[in-house]
Chain A
Amino acid sequence: MNDDMDDLDRAIFALPLEAPPAGLREAILRATVYAESIVPAAFGRWEIAGIGGALALAAWFVLLAIADRDFAATFSAGAYALARAFADPATLAWLATGGSIAVLATFIGGGTLRLPVRTKRS
């Protein structure tokens, strides 16, 4: 009986693996390593749109500032006021509080994606 099982074990381990069909490896590599869509791009579509929009806005402001001296003065005053507001310790404290609450809410809310549990096969 044990000899039978030993022989069977030997036969099982001696079995050659099935030969995969021609072109399988290339197909896998094309779908993974060489697939352009899977290679993470340096910037996403929305990031590119955001950066482009911000650059266009900045260019528009610069052009307005050059063309209109009054706008330049108003803009400078507004920018100065904004910079002062953000330099205010009270504003910074409120911003820090808001950020902390947002981070805390993410953890408490269970940001982890839970996948359905697979049924065991017997």
Chain B
Amino acid sequence: MTAEGAVAGPSDGELVAAALGGRAESFGTLVERYDRAVYHLCYRTMRDAEEARDCTQEAFFKAFRSLRTFKPGAKFSTWIFSIAYHACCDRLARRKRYSDSELSERADPGPGPALQAERNDEARALRDAIDALPEKYRTVITLYHLQGRQYEEIARILDLPMGTVKTHLFRAKELLRKTLVTE
């Protein structure tokens, strides 16, 4: 599953062009297409619902303000994910308190009784395993999920060489596999 899937109606590029041409509501369609995926990326990166919400808003706000810098022919999803990812990084860097141990404390509290049953669910276990990954692996896995197997797009978003992305992805999968096997 990718964030984009099959989209009916005008393409992302056409919507950007329309928004730049004065039809600002076209940007609203882009928000409808990508807000969930962007929030997912922010949530997985920040592991905090409130901060993920802020980062998502910030990403769309920045995108709207700098829509003119969007290169025609580029993928809007890559562009907005890149903005969102960097918004998350800025926020994490500003906090300075960022560390894996701290993030463990900041991660979702343990499941309540109602969620305890869901714990056994495979998806829930996988989500927990992803949450437990170090940030760089977690982000790569999240983008792999959102963008499909498009390593080049992932590398562009993270501003990393493609080889590094592939290495991170391999290690992330290895860690996930080990975690899931031991559970």
- Interface residues, chain A, CB within 8 Å of chain B? 4-5, 8, 11-21, 24-25, 27-29, 31-33, 38-39, 118, 120-122
Contact = CB atoms under 8 A, between A and B. Distances in A.
Interface string B154-183: 000011100010000000010011001100
A118 B159 contact: yes
Interface size class of B (residues with CB under 8 A): 35 or more
A18 B39 contact: yes
B46 to A, nearest CB: 11
B53 A120 contact: no
Interface string B55-82: 0110011001100000000000000000
B107 to A, nearest CB: 14
A12 B24 contact: no
Contact of B126 (A15, A21, A24, A27): A15
A29 B35 CA distance: 11
B31 A15 contact: no
B25 A18 contact: no
Given A8-B173, A12-B144, A21-B49, A28 B31 contact: yes
Interface of B: 1, 3, 24-25, 27-28, 31-32, 35-37, 39-40, 43-44, 49, 52-53, 56-57, 60-61, 64-65, 86, 89, 122-123, 126-127, 136, 141, 144-145, 148, 158-160, 164, 173, 176-177, 180-181
Interface of B, helix, strand, loop or mixed by DSSP: helix
Nearest to A39: B24
Contact of A25 (B31, B123, B160): B31
Given A14-B123, A17-B37, A32-B27, A121 B61 contact: no
A34 to B, nearest CB: 8
A24 B35 contact: yes
Contact of A20 (B35, B64, B173): B35
Contact of B56 (A14, A28, A29): A28
B44 A28 contact: no
Nearest to B176: A8
Given A25-B32, A33-B64, 4 more contacts: A12-B145, A13-B1, A18-B36, A32-B27
B101 to A, nearest CB: 19
A31 B40 contact: no
A16 B123 contact: yes
